[in-house]
Structures are given as C-alpha cells and as structure tokens.
C-alpha cells in the first residue's frame, strides 16, 4: 500500500473532520445494492472514492472523485 498523502479536491486541502490530519490513503469501494447482489450483478453497482485518515482512520466517502 502506498504511503498516505495529501489530496486537494476543489482547490482545498482535504483535512480529517475528526482529528485535523491532512494525510490519507485512497481506496475505491463498491456500493452494492440488494437487487444487484441478488441477481449476481454486483459489478454494475457504482463505486465510491474513499479517503482514509492515516491518524484516526476516519473514512471520507465521495460518490465521484473530487476534482
């Protein structure tokens, strides 16, 4: 896993709302729905971008990658 780093979405440094840290790990997460899972079509569900605080591990979720 890469080292935690800073992210600057929408021209503003991303900071953890819990501890104020500014270093995060980035991951993609599948947003599964019951219907798609029931039919075996989990792969069609949307993904979210998650930023995980490297200090307190709070997770910030974004439906679309912030630019």
Residue 67 in any domain: the answer is no
Record the pTM.
0.75
Residue 14 in any domain: the answer is yes
**For position 44, which CATH number holds?**
2.20.25
CA distance 28 to 52: 11
Task: Report the pLDDT value the prediction gives residue 1, as an integer from 0 to 100.
Answer: 60
Encode pLDDT of 14-41 as tens digits. 999 999 999 999 998 877 666 545 566 5
Domain count across the chain: 1
Residue 22 in any domain: the answer is yes
Residue 39 in any domain: the answer is yes
In this predicted structure, the answer to whether residue 43 has a pLDDT above a threshold of 70 is no
> What domain range includes position 44?
9-62
Q: CA–CA distance from 20 to each of 39, 45, 58 (Å)?
A: 42, 32, 11
């Amino acid at each position: 896993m890469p080292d935690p780093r800073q992210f600057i979405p929408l021209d503003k440094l991303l900071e953890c709302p819990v501890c104020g840290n500014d270093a995060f790990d980035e991951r993609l997460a599948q947003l599964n729905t019951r219907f798609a899972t029931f039919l075996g079509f989990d792969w069609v569900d949307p993904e979210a971008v998650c930023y995980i605080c490297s200090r307190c591990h709070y997770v910030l979720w974004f439906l679309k990658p912030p630019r």
